[in-house]
Amino acid sequence: MTNNKTHFGFTEVPLHEKSDRVADVFRSVANKYDLMNDVMSMGMHRLWKRFTIAQSGVRVGQRVLDIAGGTGDLTREFSKIVGSSGQVILADINEKMLAQGRERLIDQGIVGNVCFVQADAEKLPFPDNYFDCITIAFGLRNVTDKGAALRSMYRVLKPGGKVMVLEFSKPILPLLNTIYDKYSFHVIPALGEWICQDRASYQYLVESIRMHPDQEQLKSLMEISGCEDVKYHNLSAGIVALHIGMKY
């Protein structure tokens, strides 16, 4: 990419346009976001998020940031863990996704220790060394400058804390990679058209997965951004990977 261009799926666009285009995608899909996640992943996204929670090591009284938290799956579980003496902030750059998350969590009785903040992952509006754990699940690939977002996360993370990136990645089995490609490019956009009447947004989401760094590339990017002792876990044979970086 040139200095003033970036990827929007497979399309090359001016840097300043990407965030608006991504925002339009998520405004379009917000109302059916949870349903589509269940359908597209055949419910597996719940297991991937459960694994993330288990690996977080979050405890009572801690402060957690859930970036690109969407409709609040991780926020809900972290809220239960940190209790009344802790805090969870659900942050999302998209006002419609944030509203969906707030409404859904209030309906589920998740109140008191959860705050909602509209925020850009590249410029997080929080003090240095503030959070015990930071998660971003299926959101980093939509960020214009991933390095800037990771540096911002590292800045607001406390020493001893974890940055956790749950994201689609590259399957490690060649046969699975072929099947996954066919499913992604033929089935997912068709599901988007059927369920959301929006094929284009899901075509972008599939393309954005292919343009996202693979496991080793993301590990290196996290290290360059300041994270230490970076490790990753391949889930579902690498269809998804959970990267964990520390701050010492």
Structure tokens at 178: 């072929």
The radius of gyration of the chain from alpha carbons, rounded to an integer in Å, stands at 17
At 53-68, the pLDDT tens digits run 999 999 999 999 999 9
Whether the predicted pLDDT of 29 surpasses 80: no
Q: Fold for 5-173+201-246, please state it.
A: Rossmann fold (3.40.50)
Q: Is 126 helix (H, G, I), strand (E, B) or coil?
A: coil
pLDDT digits (tens, 9 = 90+) for 43-98: 899 999 999 999 999 999 999 999 999 889 999 999 999 999 999 999 999 999 99
Q: Locate the domains of the chain by residue range.
A: 5-173+201-246
Residue with tokens 């059927």: 194
Angle, to 10 degrees, between the axis of helix 33-41 and the axis of helix 44-56? 100
pTM passes above 0.95: no
- The type of residue at 64 is V
Residue pointed to by tokens 């689609």: 168
pLDDT band for position 239 (cuts 50, 70, 90)? very high
- Averaged pLDDT of the chain: 91
